[in-house]
Amino acid sequence: MIKQNLHENWEMHTAGWDDWQPAQVPGTVYTDLLRNGNMEDPFWKDNENKALALMENDYEYETIFACGTDLLSCDSVLLRFEGLDTIADIYVNHEYIGRTDNMHRTWEFSVRHLLHEKGNSLRILFHSPLAYIREKFAEAPTRGSEDAMDGFVHIRKAHCMFGWDWGAHLPDAGIFRPVSLLGIQKACLDSVYLRQEHRAGYVRLKPQVHVRIVKDRVAGDPVELHGQDSCCSYRITIEDPDKSKRVFDGSPEEIVIEDPRLWWPNGLGEQPLYTVKTELMCGDTAVDEKIQRIGLRTMTMHVEKDAYGESFAHEVNGVQVFAMGADYIPEDHLLGRTTSAKTRKLLKDCRAANFNAVRVWGGGYYPEDWFYDICDELGLMVWQDFMFACAVYDLTPAFEENMRKELADNIKRIRRHPSLGLWCGNNEMEMFVKEGNWVSKHSEVRDYLLMYERVIPEVLREYDPVTFYWPASPSSGGSFDEPNDPNRGDVHYWDVWHGNKPFSDYRNYFFRYASEFGFQSFPCLSTVKTFTDDPDDFNIFSYVMEKHQRNAGANGKIMNYMQQTFRYPSSFETVLYASQLLQAEAIRYGVEHFRRNRGRCMGAIYWQLNDCWPVASWSSIDYTGRWKALHYYAKRFFAPIMVSCQEEGWLTQKPDMNREHFEFEKSIRLNVTNETRKEQQVLVRWAVRNQKAEIFSSHEELVCVPAMSSVWLDKVEFPHIQIFDRYVSYEILQNGEILSEGTVIFSLPKYFAYADPGLSCRVEGDEIVVRAQAYAKSVEIQNKAEDLLLSDNYFDMNAGEKRVRILSGEPKGLRLRSVYDIR
């Protein structure tokens, strides 16, 4: 096959205007307009409104290209679009060749008969997505999340482009993925899929190769290629992780890999990858080839009735794994700005924070190939939602056909990745449809069942019968059977945050797998300054700050939790910092509890990893890539071997100090959880200290924690501890090295009588050495640019010194603060 990319010479203009300007393909309307100075930064202040209005227009893209004689001499030529967003009419040499209406699909058109050697034109007219959804909504007012614009359910375009409770109304458009001409001689490969059978000492690969055979100059539908009965055959070359190669000729029906090197999630082993080259042979000539990387592993969900209900855990190579990660949303409102380098940085930041999983949430779009390649390399298991979220859909025959093609395209593209953990039908629809949300007619309930319990399973049976399928998130298995049951399946738990419950509420549940729970915070000042430079806006209740806060009432909610936790923060910057600590403490409270209950609970995927613009949100990494306090906390609470403390105190028992019987239990119960495949011996230590961190009493003991389990220590009560000026520090050590540590107080952080820790620091090589003269909680180290990436940050100190490594950023203009400074 000959491939010619069509990425040169593009121009675009607003349809009906003469404003032709250079365009970049792949790219998008917003990124082109921005690069050409024809729109303002859509994230600045409330420019979103103007940017949204631009999408009332239609936009046209055109390129003029030549075709090589080798391409023209092919039996058939396909024009392939890997991503068109969304309603587009396509013309080749002024001849209309078709319309696309789904950004999630790959589109191909047979164009051999239209092409010449020189001066070919390809023209694409993108219709206004706003006009389109308005019109469709008027015809059928099918509804979904009120955070998005009316009619968003009618277009197969990332839902969150029309607004979400963390997203702006910025429905970008355009040729967002590669476009190419494919010249086919005789036949081409459609897909190659290697099913794996794992046996003791070897893995058997069973190739399924689909080809398209050219007939009458048109590439036919894919057919499976079987060895002898065809004009073509396939040859497979496998390169092992150590680079040695083996060739298997003559359409092998199976390939045996002896002594396989297994792929493991991060923390449990390595991620060896095998490269598979498949060549399509017509006689002795290779007419096409595909190169794919695979990993050898078994991967499913362990679902089994048990004493608590029903288990729900990833099982990799027969080992049940506690999933640790966050929910991933699209990386940029301007699709044309995403790059593999940015995705790699984001996912490396996940691995750096000890993630072993990410959930691709269903209200965006299916990520690029590079996303999955990087997850394969880093050992991040992917929970993959299909792109349906918070809505009801009308399953017309046309919608169903479109949906089936979308599913097939994406399943074929993604199924080979060892990181693929499971397919999931949708985000939150089973739960909402059951509750009657957005449902206006009975057929919508029926269509729900058809889509997620019939259509998707049918398509999966054909293209990926191996990967585990789960009908919705959350779900207990489908058919509206208590989708958010805490004792079965996965759960979205939002009582902390949306329900205003205190952090301690997490402890009332032992979810089998929490796939969403979250808490908002603001980004730091430097990120705020990317959308406003007016000091007048530097107040969380200002118009501009609330334009960058999309969850109604959320700023009040943050202040409510602030009141429950910290003293009143009297400057804007302190509010931002304190909000990040609130968020980090909330999620820590949940995750540590879930990990302590490992076995019953097997997943903690917090909402949400990232942002698609600078905004107040649940993310742990903001739009600019800066780590919020939560991401550093995640590194600690997802540590493979972690100590945590289930304390009883003011927060857990909610005594009222202004009533009679103001008494409550003060105790600790430590727990060590071990998410490694080895038994671990650790020295556990704890100490009661005063504000200056001086030790009053202490204890240590050796604890043995079996592989993949958690172990409780005995409860210790402190009935007479002074709650305002005593705290407990705890840590675990191995070979003299602290693996995990923390501190706990029994009053509320706002009431604790911190001594001024007099924080100071010095730089030694690539390290920063921080000094505290007293107990310091959540110590933040920042430079002027707020772009330091450190080995640790927002940690507690029991006075003394702590060294952290500088991973990136310049240690210039360093400043330090801790909870003591929230005042």
The region of 7-15, 36-44, 163-171, 274-282 touching ligand BMA under the rule CB under 6 A is 163-171
Q: What are phi and psi of 736, to 5 degrees?
A: 80, 0
In whole angstroms, give the CA distance from residue 575 to residue 556.
12
Interacting span for ligand BMA (CB under 6 A) from 161-169, 203-211, 341-349, 642-650:
161-169
Q: How far is the CB of 427 from ligand BMA (least distance, A)?
A: 5
Q: Looking at beta carbons only, is 165 or 331 nearer to ligand BMA? A: 165
Interaction pattern, residues 112-151, with ligand BMA; x per rule: CB under 6 A: ----------------------------------------
Per-residue contact flags (x/-) with ligand BMA for residues 660 to 699, judged by CB under 6 A:
----------------------------------------
Region from 164-172, 633-641, 689-697, 724-732 binding ligand BMA, contact rule CB under 6 A: 164-172
Q: Is 310 exposed, middle or buried (0-12, 13-18, 19+ CB in 10 A)?
A: middle
Looking at the Cβ atoms of 165 and 288, the one nearer to ligand BMA is 165
How far apart CA 647 and CA 666 sit, in angstroms, is: 7
**In the complex, minimum distance from the CB of residue 550 to ligand BMA, in angstroms, rounded to a whole number:** 9
- In angstroms, what is the minimal distance from the CB of 359 to ligand BMA? 10
d(CA 712, CA 598): 11
Restricting to residues 425-444, which ones interact with ligand BMA according to CB under 6 A? 427-428
Nearer residue to ligand BMA within complex by CB, 265 or 478? 478
Least Cα distance to 586 among 549, 620, 552, 624 occurs for 620
With CB under 6 A as the contact rule, which of the stretches 41-49, 84-92, 162-170, 271-279 interacts with ligand BMA?
162-170
Minimum gap (Å) between residue 389 Cβ and ligand BMA: 6
Site for ligand BMA in 466-525 (CB under 6 A): 516
Site string for ligand BMA, 306-325 (x = CB under 6 A): --------------------
| Of 363 and 614, CB closest to ligand BMA | 363
Residue with smaller CB distance to ligand BMA, 312 or 607: 607
* Residue 391 or 745 having the CB closest to ligand BMA: 391
Buried b (16+ CB within 10 A) or exposed e, 716-730: eebeebebebbbbbb
What is the smallest separation between the CB atom of 415 and ligand BMA, expressed in angstroms?
24
CA dist 815 to 314, 621, 669, 777, 820, Å?
42, 21, 35, 15, 14
Task: Report the C-alpha gap between 565 and 651 in whole angstroms.
Answer: 9
State which of positions 595-654 bind ligand BMA (CB under 6 A): 607, 618
Closest CB to ligand BMA among 185 and 617?
617
The token pair that represents 575 in the structure block? 């509010």
In 259-395 the beta strands, taken as DSSP E runs, fall at: 274-282, 285-294, 299-302, 305-306, 309-310, 313-316, 319-321, 323-328, 357-360, 381-385
Distance of closest approach, residue 491 Cβ to ligand BMA, in angstroms: 12
How many chain residues are in contact with ligand BMA, going by CB under 6 A? 10
Q: What span, in angstroms and rounded, lies between the C-alpha atoms of 343 and 358?
A: 13
Contact 44, 87 (CB under 8 A): no
Instruction: Look up residue 499 and give its two tokens.
Output: 């329900």
To the nearest whole angstrom, how small is the minimum distance from the Cβ of residue 482 to ligand BMA? 18
Enter the tokens of residue 523. 């980004």
Per CB under 6 A, the list member of 58, 82, 101, 165 interacting with ligand BMA is 165
| Shorter beta-carbon distance to ligand BMA: residue 605 or 816 | 605
Binding characters for ligand BMA, 750-779, by CB under 6 A (x = yes): ------------------------------
C-beta of 187 vs 558, nearer to ligand BMA: 558
CA atoms within 13 A on the CB side of 565: 23
Binding mask 378-397 for ligand BMA (x = CB under 6 A): ------------x-------
What is the CB-side half-sphere exposure of residue 714 using CA atoms within 13 A?
6
User: Considering only residues 164, 372, 589, 633, which one is a binding residue for ligand BMA as defined by CB under 6 A?
Assistant: 164
Residue 327 or 647 with smaller CB distance to ligand BMA:
327
Residue 607 CB, shortest distance to ligand BMA, in Å, is 5
The terminus-to-terminus CA distance of the chain in angstroms comes to 67
Among 107, 126, 166, 503, binds ligand BMA (CB under 6 A): 166
Q: Candidates 160-168, 204-212, 730-738, 794-802: pick the segment binding ligand BMA (CB under 6 A).
A: 160-168
Cα(150)–Cα(127) distance, integer angstroms: 17
Judged by beta carbon, residue 503 or residue 650, the one nearer ligand BMA is: 503
Cβ neighbors of 794 (< 8 A, separation 6 or more) are: 580, 581, 584, 629, 632, 633, 778, 779, 780
SS3 track for 436-479: CCCCCCHHHHHHHHHHHHHHHHHHHHHHCCCCCEECCECECCCC
Two structure tokens written together for 569 = 């923060």
What is the C-alpha separation between 354 and 359, in angstroms, rounded?
15
Helix (H, G, I), strand (E, B) or coil at 35: helix
Whole-number Å distance between alpha carbons of 405 and 383: 21
- Distance (Å, whole) CA 544 – CA 555: 13
Q: Which residues contact 664 (CB under 8 A, 6 or more apart)?
A: 648, 649, 650, 653, 655
Residue list 350-369, contact with ligand BMA (CB under 6 A): 363
Measured from the CB atom, the residue of 10 and 607 that comes closer to ligand BMA is: 607
Q: Which is nearer to ligand BMA, 412 or 434 (CB)?
A: 434
- Does the protein bind ligand BMA through residue 101 (CB under 6 A)? no
Site for ligand BMA, rule CB under 6 A: 164-166, 363, 390, 427-428, 516, 607, 618
